[in-house]
Structure 1
Amino acid sequence: MRYTDVPAPILFHPLKHHLGYIREFIKEQATAEEVTLIAQLQTIGSSQLDLYLGKLSTQQIAQETILYLESQHILEPEAYQLYLSNSEANYGLLTLSDGSKWVLRWGVVKGRHVHLHPARYSQHTIRVKANTLKTAVATLLALKRVSAAASDLSLINHARVQWLELAPIPTYLPEEGLGKMFNLLQQ
């Protein structure tokens, strides 16, 4: 799925912000070409991000957002831009049916002016380092190609160095950041 798989005018990056989507991505992309996987993982970036852990699908999130914007008469680009400009920070905040909060920003992709991502520290959301998320996803994808365990430091470092162009890590502790991410992705 890419952002174009949710209805316009929503701009949403599920590989960066939706745990359920990421789990499916790992299952579906296990046999994809490495170069394709690497390119997709690079779109996650390198800073911190907010990851939605809730039960709403990407389609449900988009539909609820559209319904809200329609009910407020701010779905059209001009009205939406005016709505955002009325805020000091140029963003809006939306609460969805499961109690999660979502940030509404201006989207820069033509036809997708509603840029949507989970709000920081919202219900059903955790703050994650992008490189930790990318390492976990890349390792689990690499794991499908070899016989090893997700906690195998050599496999983790292969994914980091060869796929992500990141420095190797000296140790791996299952109860810390990367280990917690492996657990989330494998549930």
Structure 2
Amino acid sequence: MHHPDLPQPILFHPLKHHLGYIREFIATQACAEESAIISQLKTLGSSQLDLYLGELQVQQIAQETIAHIRAQEASTPATYRLYLSGSSSDYRLFSLSDGSQWVLRWGIIEERHVHLHPARYSQHTIRVKANSLKTAVAVSLAVRRYRRALSLELVNQVRTQWLGLTPIPAFPPNIAIGRLVQLLQC
């Protein structure tokens, strides 16, 4: 799922890759229908991903990316594909103004051929499991929605009922889900 308000040709999934956007999502979606929330969280997949923690806003990331591909003379689908094929792999790395590294790939959605996501282990980025991120977002939403304190019971309720995941046996704050919940606090 891409962000529909981003300028073409950018394909970027901020609910999966941008901490500031996720915080905003939690703040604005707490009262949304559960099915809509679940549907959006399922777009995060189940593998590992890279989450950008930096200060750049989603629109600024898109604009800097467009400036980069223009500077590379790779603005059209044909020139962009040629630009990607000029590397030894099917992607290119580049840096944004804050020093973070980003990956450019071929986007499969029409008119959004510039697929963008944070690079692995880049500055201002952490690597997380998608199920941990989904759980942390769902728990943060549930805390707001039900006005309940964070607890193992609430974590397992959203994991099983919203996400179709198995319950966890304990919820110490130092495990990935606990650290992510703390990070998502607005």
Q: Which runs of 5+ in 1 are unaligned?
A: none
Q: Which runs of 5+ in 2 are unaligned?
A: none
1:127-176, CA deviations, whole angstroms, 9 ceiling, x for partnerless residues? 001000000100111112223212x1111001000000000001011022
Residues 86-101 of structure 1: pairs in structure 2 closer than 5 A: 86-101=86-101
RMSD: 1.1
Instruction: Tell me the TM-score normalised to structure 1 length.
Output: 0.97
Task: Indicate the SS of the match to 1:144.
Answer: helix
Distance in 2, Cα, partners of 1:2 & 1:67: 20
Structure 2 equivalent of residue 63 of structure 1 = 63
Structure 2 equivalent of residue 175 of structure 1 = 174
Residues 7-86 of structure 1: pairs in structure 2 closer than 5 A: 7-86=7-86
1:26-66, CA deviations, whole angstroms, 9 ceiling, x for partnerless residues? 00001000000000000000000000000000000000000
Distance in 2, Cα, partners of 1:145 & 1:117: 30
What stretches of structure 1 move > 6 A for 4+ residues in a row?
none
Task: Indicate the SS of the match to 1:74.
Answer: coil
Structure 1 equivalent of residue 119 of structure 2 = 119
Structure 1 equivalent of residue 136 of structure 2 = 136
Distance in 2, Cα, partners of 1:21 & 1:88: 32
Deviation at 1:182, TM superposition (A): 0.9
Distance in 2, Cα, partners of 1:149 & 1:50: 28
1:68-118, CA deviations, whole angstroms, 9 ceiling, x for partnerless residues? 111111111100001111212110111000000000000000000000000
Distance in 1, Cα, partners of 2:36 & 2:175: 29
Instruction: Tell me the TM-score normalised to structure 2 length.
Output: 0.97
